[in-house]
Amino acid sequence: MTGSDADPDAFTYNGGIVEPGETQNIRYGISETYLGDPVRIPVTIVNGAEPGPTVFLSAAAHGDELNGIEVVREVAHEWNHDDLRGTLVCLPVLNVPGFLAQERYLPIYDRDLNRSFPGREGSTSAKRMAYQIFRNFLAPCDVGLDFHTSTRGRTNMLHVRGDMNNSEVARLAKAFGSNVIISSEGPTGALRREATDYGIPTITIEMGEAHRFQREFIDRGLEGVESVLSEYGVHRTKSVKWPGWRTVIDDAKEKTWIRADAGGLVDMHHDRGSLVYEGDTICTITNPFKTDSEPVVAPFTGLLVGVLENPVVYPGNPLCHMVELSAKTRKALKRDRARNSPKSNDETAPPPESR
């Protein structure tokens, strides 16, 4: 929560103030183009009539990762906030230059905005932008949700990333209600890591693929936001979501990117979210004549969190992201998926299983 002389529950940023009970749509300048025009990010601040935690929701730190944009917009502009206790800071498009170019990185020197936080005044263009965002709109918050998708050419099942060794991050991660939580601090300069280090517990939500609005993921993202706001008492009427089964992938569990050892064309045999058993063929890589085919087998039993969408690889390219599932979790997953079938939700539909 931020304070001002006038009202301790007002939200203040450089050049503005949003009073309790007020909503503002802002275009905030964080840089300038080659033509000297402002580069402005869209921000919506919804300050509830009653005091409570300040929560940020951000998306498109990678400019071509779009699903989260719609989550943030719907929360900001379609939800009823009459009972809001606290403040929502909604940042649907962080990386405006990348978004305009529909590219992951800032087009200026291909810099990764999501490795530039918390930013620095008088530094590179990426760090200056990150600084403006961080100082004005992230630093005043109590918790944060940063939405991403898989990198272009791949797709993810919905999962949360956060440092589960930090009890406040763990509370937030569990409140989002995903089946899979991958525990890590995150790389230096990543928004979630730097915000967390600053004292704002923050998680990343990964869902779906780049360059798309995927309704099933947007809806699941919105459910997660509802659940988080309920956990922190920001919206009173909602309840915290239990996803049916959950696995936390920490250092004690196996997780790996399976990479291609041959160049070629990939025939993927499983979807994201599929359970595969040790030794199962996940995909095959074939040459152009189909005379040579290399099976890629699962090194352990687990879940395909992310898989390739674009079926062309060089040696070393990632084919899928796999995490270990214990026998107990597998049982819970199967029970949950059987219960929810034939609903065609990505995480609840019975996937093409190998046995």
272 binds Zn ion (CB under 5 A): no
Shortest CB 186 distance to Zn ion, Å: 11
Residue 174 contacts Zn ion per CB under 5 A: no
Of 62 and 127, nearer to Zn ion (C-beta) is 62
Least distance in angstroms from the C-beta of 138 to Zn ion: 16
Report whether 232 contacts 143 (CB < 8 A).
yes
Give the separation between CA 336 and CA 325, rounded to whole angstroms. Answer: 15
Minimum CB separation of residue 149 from Zn ion in Å reads 6
Nearer to Zn ion, 12 or 155 (CB): 155
Please name which of 342, 177, 348, 346 lies closest in space to residue 271, comparing C-alpha atoms: 346
For Zn ion, the closer of residues 214 and 301 by Cβ is 214
According to CB under 5 A, which one of 148, 154, 161, 192 is a site residue for Zn ion?
Answer: 148
Q: How many residues bind Zn ion (CB under 5 A)?
A: 3
* Listed ranges 88-96, 115-123, 141-149, 290-298: which one lies at the site for Zn ion (CB under 5 A): 141-149
Nearer to Zn ion, 67 or 87 (CB): 67
Name residue, tokens 């606290």. 86
Stretch that binds Zn ion, among 8-16, 26-34, 60-68, 262-270 (CB under 5 A): 60-68
**Residue 89 backbone phi and psi in degrees, to 5:** -110, 110
Q: For the window 19-58, what string marks contact with Zn ion as x by the rule CB under 5 A?
A: ----------------------------------------
Q: Does 159 bind Zn ion (CB under 5 A)?
A: no
CB of 34 to Zn ion, least distance (A): 26
By C-beta, is 65 or 280 nearer to Zn ion?
65
Residues 6+ positions from 204 with CB-CB distance below 8 Å: 146, 147, 148, 160, 161, 162, 186, 190, 191, 192
Q: Please report whether residue 321 would count as binding Zn ion according to CB under 5 A.
A: no
CB of 61 to Zn ion, least distance (A): 6
Q: How far apart are CA 131 and CA 138, in angstroms?
A: 10
270 scored as a contact of Zn ion (CB under 5 A):
no
Residues 79-138 close enough to bind Zn ion by CB under 5 A: none
Query: Distance of CA 159 to CAs 155, 171, 222, 249, Å?
Result: 12, 15, 14, 11
- Which residue's CB is nearer to Zn ion, number 94 or number 229? 94
State the CB neighbour count (10 A cutoff) for residue 309: 15
Containing H/E element for 210?
Answer: none
Evaluate whether 92 touches 76 at the Cβ level (below 8 Å): yes
Nearest to 253 by CA among 306, 206, 300: 300
The per-residue DSSP string of 76-88 comes to: HHTS--TT-EEEE
Q: Select from 144-152, 176-184, 225-233, 280-288 the region that touches Zn ion (CB under 5 A).
A: 144-152
Q: Which is nearer to Zn ion, 63 or 177 (CB)?
A: 63
- The CA R_g of the chain, rounded to the nearest whole Å, is 21
1-13 burial, b for 16+ CB within 10 Å, e for fewer?
ebeeeeeebbbbb
Give the residue with the Cβ less far from Zn ion, 62 or 192: 62
Determine, following the binding rule CB under 5 A, whether residue 192 of this chain makes contact with Zn ion.
no
Specify the residue, 65 or 324, whose C-beta has the smaller distance to Zn ion: 65
Least separation in angstroms between CB 36 and Zn ion: 29
- Using CA atoms, how far residue 4 sits from 13, 23, 64, 70, 140, in Å, is 10, 17, 36, 31, 12
Stretch that binds Zn ion, among 12-20, 64-72, 85-93, 346-354 (CB under 5 A): 64-72
- In total, the chain counts a number of residues equal to 355
| Residue 62 in contact with Zn ion, rule: CB under 5 A | yes
Which is nearer to Zn ion, 58 or 125 (by Cβ)? Answer: 58
* Contact footprint for Zn ion (CB under 5 A): 62, 65, 148
